[in-house]
Amino acid sequence: MAKCPPYHTATNETAYGQRNVYHDHDDCPDGRQIEDKNWRSGANGRPRCDECKQLG
- Which residues of the chain form contacts with Zn ion (CB under 5 A)? 23, 28, 30-31, 49, 51-52
Position with the least CB separation from Zn ion: 49
Our CB check for Zn ion shows the closer of 9 and 49 to be 49
CA distance 16 to 13: 5
Our CB check for Zn ion shows the closer of 16 and 37 to be 16
CA distance 28 to 9: 13
Q: Is 29 exposed, middle or buried (0-12, 13-18, 19+ CB in 10 A)?
A: middle
Our CB check for Zn ion shows the closer of 37 and 53 to be 53
